[in-house]
């Protein structure tokens, strides 16, 4: 006897491919975190799709830090004052850029994925209608042909019908994506504004960063920052285009462009610095050229796929971009403030603690790049699934990327827990700094699963276009974390700072867990 529909029955092996999960599972959203956990490493269609997006994205994210290390090595040969000056300038440039980059890329990825999916569905529907119309026309023509009609006429009719279908198939495939055009305009404008701001305010900004008017670092720092700022339009434009390609689920093209730009930078650095004797100015010029190389490659590839110019100005979606971009701007400010405050608290403990904290922090943040690859994959796939209202695909993708994130975090925890005890000497040989680093290693290792989940939760919620919740929850997390930093750093010093940062990342992960686990907002479909 078959069970009645809607009854609570045991899970069978065939349910992993069932688009309609059991009632018990559908009524408990939290079950999504454990859904098909045994398939976590299965290289099925979903697994391949995630890997094809996540791996190139992670490699592209790690390419820039590697190029920066090579860049730093060349500049370090000029002199310590120049190296310190460039370090301050890069920190200032990146801090200003980060304010615009994260909202621009995140919003662009989701919006482009949604629009491209809707366009694809509409195109498939039109093609289906055309094929159906041609079939009907062909059938009607067959009925009109007399029995004694020659086979040549019949063949001619079939060829005409086939020509109509093939003509539809050969229509131009360049896509019209209003969000892509909007992102490019916004990226260009933001880049120009950033360049004007940094060039005109270079000296006061450097003074604010602690480089005094009588400091030997001021002149090289100002030279580097001014020239580096000329590349700001290329940086913002290229990142806007990376968001477009991510929306197309293509992270390979941005990877190729990024590697080409970084290789250009590495080749030009010694040429401009040592052959042409341009010093820090040569390093800045090399970097600017590399950014324009990246932009030109991406622009060339993008022009082959989409119509960059919209039919009219009203098709641009500035209002939608600005609204959601402002929400993510709030989030960026909250995140940046927490990490910056932690660094300032460590600086108050003395140079030894500050040096140890910087090493620990850089390792702590660098490992997030791998999780960011999963976050990008989750965002692109989910944005497409939500646009098609394919909630089964949304369930499966959310489960898989979160489970992979947890697995990645556990692997990183083991790797760093063991490796940092030996690898710390790569960063410093100072005994005092090494001793303080050893205190931070347990926190760095233990928080890796939490960090990975927090970053993947970000991508998942962005894929659902849940930008408002992501922003407001992050502000709430920041308020609690800031209080913890003040209290714990004053009472427990270096350990207290890392306890506060652990609380900070745990709250970030919990915010994502709560939204999905309670089935609220865009996740209410998990209730049934």
**For residue 18, with 0-12 CB atoms within 10 Å meaning exposed, 13-18 middle and 19 or more buried, which class applies?**
exposed
Would you state the pLDDT for residue 384? 95
Contact in structure between 193 and 224 (CB atoms under 8 Å)? no
**Do 296 and 380 sit in the same domain of this protein?**
no
**Do 276 and 375 sit in the same domain of this protein?**
no
Query: What is the pLDDT averaged over residues 101-120?
Result: 93
Listed residues 265, 300, 316: the one ending a domain: 316
**Do 57 and 174 sit in the same domain of this protein?**
no
**Do 307 and 357 sit in the same domain of this protein?**
no
**Do 352 and 295 sit in the same domain of this protein?**
no
**Do 503 and 439 sit in the same domain of this protein?**
yes
**Do 499 and 363 sit in the same domain of this protein?**
yes
**Do 417 and 364 sit in the same domain of this protein?**
yes
What is the percent of the chain with per-residue pLDDT over 90, rounded to a whole number?
58
Contact in structure between 180 and 174 (CB atoms under 8 Å)? no
The answer, yes or no, to whether residue 253 has pLDDT greater than 80, is yes
Predicted TM-score (pTM) of this structure: 0.83
**Do 489 and 384 sit in the same domain of this protein?**
yes
**Do 432 and 510 sit in the same domain of this protein?**
yes
Listed residues 249, 282, 316: the one ending a domain: 316
Within a domain: 448:
yes
Within a domain: 11:
no
Beta bridge partners of 175: 306
The answer, yes or no, to whether residue 12 has pLDDT greater than 70, is no
Would you state the pLDDT for residue 2? 41
| pLDDT, tens digit, 9 for 90 and up, residues 368-387 | 778 999 999 999 999 999 99
| pLDDT, tens digit, 9 for 90 and up, residues 152-196 | 554 554 555 555 544 444 445 678 898 999 999 999 999 999 999
Listed residues 261, 292, 316: the one ending a domain: 316
Within a domain: 5:
no
Within a domain: 271:
yes
Long-range pairs of 129-137 with CB within 8 A, sequence gap ≥ 24:
130/164, 130/165, 130/168, 131/165, 134/161, 134/164, 134/165, 137/161
**Do 268 and 360 sit in the same domain of this protein?**
no
Produce one character per residue of 96-123: b if its CB has 16 or more CB atoms within 10 Å, e if not.
bbeebbbbbbbbbbbbbbbbbbeeeeee
Within a domain: 229:
yes
**Do 192 and 219 sit in the same domain of this protein?**
yes
Would you state the pLDDT for residue 65? 76
Contact in structure between 174 and 308 (CB atoms under 8 Å)? no
Give me the number of domains the chain comprises: 2
Q: How many Cβ atoms are within 10 Å of 66's Cβ, its own excluded?
A: 12
Q: In this predicted model, which residue has the larger pLDDT, 320 or 511?
A: 511
Would you state the pLDDT for residue 3? 44
Query: What is the pLDDT averaged over residues 116-122?
Result: 85
Within a domain: 7:
no
The answer, yes or no, to whether residue 25 has pLDDT greater than 70, is no
Tell me which range, 57-71, 198-212, 409-423, 506-520, is most confidently predicted by mean pLDDT: 506-520
Within a domain: 234:
yes
Within a domain: 527:
yes
- Domain holding 461, by residue range, is 30-68+324-528
| pLDDT, tens digit, 9 for 90 and up, residues 428-463 | 788 888 899 999 999 999 999 999 999 999 999 999
């Amino acid at each position: 006897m078959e069970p009645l529909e809607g009854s609570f029955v045991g899970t069978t092996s065939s349910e992993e491919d069932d688009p309609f999960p059991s009632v018990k599972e559908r009524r408990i959203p939290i079950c999504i975190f454990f859904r098909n956990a045994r398939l976590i490493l299965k290289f099925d269609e979903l697994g391949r799709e995630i890997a094809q997006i996540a791996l190139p994205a992670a490699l592209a994210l790690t390419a820039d830090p590697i190029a920066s290390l090579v860049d730093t090595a060349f500049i370090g040969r000029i002199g310590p004052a120049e190296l310190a000056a460039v370090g301050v300038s890069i920190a200032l440039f990146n801090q200003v850029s980060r304010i615009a980059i994260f909202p621009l890329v995140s919003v662009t990825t989701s919006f482009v994925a949604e629009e491209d999916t809707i366009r694809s569905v509409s195109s498939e529907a039109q093609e289906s209608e055309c094929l159906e119309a041609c079939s009907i026309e062909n059938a009607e023509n067959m009925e009109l042909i007399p029995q004694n009609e020659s086979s040549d006429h019949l063949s001619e009719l079939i060829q005409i019908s086939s020509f109509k279908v093939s003509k539809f198939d050969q229509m131009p495939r360049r896509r019209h994506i209003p969000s892509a055009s909007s992102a490019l305009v916004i990226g260009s404008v933001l880049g120009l504004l950033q360049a004007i701001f940094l060039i005109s305010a270079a000296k006061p900004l450097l003074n604010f960063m602690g480089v005094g008017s009588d400091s030997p670092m001021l002149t090289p720092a100002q030279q580097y920052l001014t020239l580096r700022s000329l590349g700001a339009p290329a940086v913002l434009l290229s990142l806007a285009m990376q968001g477009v390609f991510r929306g197309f689920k293509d992270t390979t093209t941005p990877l190729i462009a990024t590697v080409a730009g970084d290789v250009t930078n590495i080749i030009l650095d010694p040429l401009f610095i040592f052959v042409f004797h341009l010093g820090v100015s040569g390093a800045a010029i090399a970097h600017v050229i590399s950014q324009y190389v990246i932009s030109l490659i991406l622009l060339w590839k993008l022009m082959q796929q989409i119509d960059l110019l919209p039919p009219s100005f009203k098709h641009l979606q500035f209002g939608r971009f600005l609204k959601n971009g402002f929400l993510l701007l709030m989030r960026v400010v909250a995140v940046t403030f927490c990490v910056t405050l932690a660094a300032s608290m460590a600086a108050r403990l003395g140079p030894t603690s500050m040096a140890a904290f910087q090493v620990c922090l850089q390792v702590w943040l660098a490992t997030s790049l791998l999780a960011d690859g999963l976050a990008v994959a989750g965002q692109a796939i989910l944005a497409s699934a939500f646009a098609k209202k394919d909630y089964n695909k949304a369930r499966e993708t959310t489960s898989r990327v979160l489970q992979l994130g947890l697995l990645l975090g556990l692997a990183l925890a083991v790797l760093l827990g063991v490796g940092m005890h030996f690898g710390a000497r790569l960063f410093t040989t100072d005994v005092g700094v090494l001793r303080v680093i050893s205190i931070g290693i347990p926190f760095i290792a233990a928080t890796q699963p939490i960090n990975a989940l927090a970053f993947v939760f970000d991508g998942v919620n962005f894929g659902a276009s849940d930008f408002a919740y992501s922003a407001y929850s992050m502000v709430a997390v920041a308020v609690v974390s800031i209080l913890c930093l003040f209290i714990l750093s004053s009472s427990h010093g270096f350990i207290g700072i890392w306890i506060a940062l652990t609380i900070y990342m745990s709250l970030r992960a919990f915010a994502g867990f709560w939204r999905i686990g309670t089935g609220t907002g865009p996740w209410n479909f998990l209730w049934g």
